[in-house]
Amino acid sequence: MSYVFDTNAFSQLFHSYYRNRFPTLWEQFDELVENGEITSTREVAREIEGDRVVALREWAANQRSLFPMPDADEARLSDRYSR
């Protein structure tokens, strides 16, 4: 199973669930990311760059493969719905 995270999911995770207080959650999250079971979008990465939580910004900067550019089909679909 794969999960697509938006900005809010990452923000809630980093703002409310500290690594030192929820180690099992973070171990499982890190494993899902490492296995490619969590993905997101380039736009989410851009939004995270302005987040107030430094840990989230630094983490995301090291996870570039998690935030791929849309392929041609996704870009066409995005254009279609943004009008």
Which tens digit of pLDDT belongs to each residue from 52-66?
999 999 999 999 899
Cα distance between residue 10 and residue 71, in whole Å? 23
Phi then psi dihedrals of residue 68, to 5 deg:
-75, 155
The pTM assigned to this predicted structure is 0.81
Q: What is the pLDDT of residue 14?
A: 96
Checking if the pLDDT of 76 tops 80, the result is no
Q: What is the pLDDT of residue 64?
A: 87
Q: Which two tokens stand for residue 3?
A: 């999960």
Beta-carbon count within 10 A of 38 CB: 19
Q: What is the pLDDT of residue 71?
A: 76
Cα distance between residue 50 and residue 38, in whole Å? 21
pLDDT tens column, 14-40: 999 999 999 999 999 999 999 999 999
